Structures are given as C-alpha cells and as structure tokens.
Amino acid sequence: METSALLRPGDVAEAVDGFLAASPAARAWDVETAFDWAAADAGLLTDGQRSAVRFVTLIEDHLPGYFDVYHRNFPVDDTVDPAVFTHNRELYHFTVRWAAEEDTHARALARYQEASGMAVRDELREELAVEGRKRFDLPYDHPVQFFTYALVQEKATQIYYQQLREVCGDPVLRAVLTRLSRDEARHFSFMADVVGRYLRAYGDTVAEPMRDVIAAFRMPLADTMRGYWRWALKIADVARYDHTDAYEHLIKVIDRAVDAPTRRIDELTAFISRCRALPA
C-alpha cells in the first residue's frame, strides 16, 4: 500500500476523537438487556422478511474477515516504520471500537433468530460458519480506497436496515434494526470524515483511486457467498437493497471537502452519478 499517501496521525486522531465523542458510554447498548427477547416472534414476519434477516445475519457475522482487512493493511507491529505505526495506532482506536459494535450487530441478529423461533442455536452456528470462514479481501493500493469502500458499505447497510424496519411486522426486530441503523450511521460519519480529510490533504490525486473503488464495488460476500445475487434480489423485493443508494452521499462528501473542483474531481463525481443510474 502507498504509505506515503497516508493522512497525518493528527488528522486520524481528530477523526477518531470525533467519532468517540459521538459515541458516549451512556448511549452504548448490549444484546442481553437492550431488547425484550421473550416477545420476539418470527411468526409476525413474512417469508421474505425472515429471509432478509437470515441474509443480513450472514453479512454481519463475517466481522472477523472485515476487521482482518484493516489489521493486515494498517498493521500495528514492527513490519512498518515508526511514522506509519503512529498513523495505524491512531486508526486502531477506531477499528477496535468499530469491530466491537459490528460484532454486537452480528450477535443481536443471531439472538433474534434464536429468540423468535427462526433458528436453533447450534444449527445457526453451523450455517454462519460456512460463510464466516471464507477469506474477505479488498485488493486496494491506496489508503483512501479502504475508507471510500467502507463509506459506501456502511451507508448502504444503514439505508437497508431503515427500509426493512419500516415493513417488518415484529416490534422486537424493529427495535434491533433501529439500533443497528444508528450505529451504521455513526460508522458512515467517521468514514465520510476520513475521506473528506484525504480530499483536503491530497486534492484530486485521490480521485482515480476513489473511482476505482466505485468501478468495481461489490458489497461484502458478493463474490464468495453461493447464490448471493439471487438472494440479494429476493430481499430487495422485501425492502429496497441497492448499494448505489449510498452514492449520492459520497458525492456530498466530495462536494463538501473540495472548494474548487478540478477536472479530475468533476469527472469523479460525474462517474459516480452515472453509476447510480446503472442497474445494481
């Protein structure tokens, strides 16, 4: 990876501090006490809604793979020089919190399946292991690409959870999705902050790396889960599922960060806009 294109450690620290300030302990929640699990009832859901819950549980449960991508590409050990380590160490303050929250999402969705009668715990554990053990990778060379990818992924997930919440019949599931979508919104805000900092620090030199992310974008597990696209189309019939819904938010991040757009920036936003018009 191009370590010469990293943000200053102080910039990363400011972004992390902002994220943590927006995530006070008083707002924290846990799987065990946040919901009335005894009231969970999958019988209040349609077949399509139950399928959507199974799908997003598989996606969220792949958290170890997502976290490992950032651990591999932003290592905090003696394989990097002190300056890079300092940057990565500041970022690590975010990634460990991010991982903990995403793992809580996975546990909450699995707990819902068990409590509502959708799944038996041991059988669900085996089902999750099929996808969970597969390697997840983001083959990027520029650091801004990891945050651009996560920006889109987090916003797309937030949007889907909000839309699924509006149609699902079980109040317990609606409560779970409310918590999850709020967390995803905060994660998106961090990624948007970091991407904006890259644009301000490096200008249009990050336009091409960002464009490459959008050109080849796939949601997590799209390339590894058997039957992913068929399943994604099925759950889109329940609530809109289209990652390109997040692209307008990426364009807003770019517009806010760049005071005087150059030709390369204009071409980037035009490309993202065109991608929004294409089939997902």
* C-alpha–C-alpha distance, residues 48 and 12, integer Å: 41
Tell me if 202 sits within 8 A of 211, measured CB to CB: no
Cα torsion 252, 55, 178, 31: sign: negative
For residue 41, give its domain range. 3-23+30-276
pLDDT score of 224: 87
140: its two tokens: 């990027």
pLDDT score of 30: 94
Running DSSP on this structure, what letter comes out for residue 168? -
162: its two tokens: 């909000």
Q: Which helix (H) or strand (E) holds 215?
A: helix 207-215
* C-alpha–C-alpha distance, residues 276 and 280, integer Å: 8
CATH value at residue 166: 1.10.620.20
Tell me if 200 sits within 8 A of 265, measured CB to CB: no
Cα angle 13, 18, 20 (rounded to 5 degrees) comes to 95
Report the amino acid identity of residue 97: R
Query: Over its length of 280 residues, how does the chain's per-residue pLDDT go in tens digits?
Result: 788 899 999 999 999 999 999 987 767 899 999 999 999 999 999 999 999 999 999 999 999 999 999 999 999 999 999 999 999 999 999 999 999 999 999 999 999 999 999 999 999 999 999 999 999 999 999 999 999 999 999 999 999 999 999 999 999 999 999 999 999 999 999 999 999 999 999 999 999 999 999 999 998 888 888 888 888 888 888 888 889 999 999 999 999 999 999 999 999 999 999 998 555 4
pLDDT score of 199: 98
Tell me if 171 sits within 8 A of 163, measured CB to CB: no
pLDDT score of 176: 99
pLDDT score of 280: 46
The pTM score is 0.94
Please, which residues have CB within 8 angstroms of residue 233's CB and are 6 or more apart in sequence?
Answer: none
Question: 79: helix, coil or strand?
Answer: coil
Q: Which of 140, 153, 143, 1 is nearest to 63 (CA)?
A: 153
Buried b (16+ CB within 10 A) or exposed e, 142-177: bbbbbbbbbbbbbbbbbbbbbbbbeebebebbebbb
Count CB-CB contacts under 10 A for residue 30.
Answer: 10
Q: Which of 114, 122, 105 is nearest to 56 (CA)?
A: 105
Structural domains of the chain, count: 1
Cα torsion 240, 276, 215, 154: sign: negative
Please, which residues have CB within 8 angstroms of residue 71's CB and are 6 or more apart in sequence?
Answer: 95
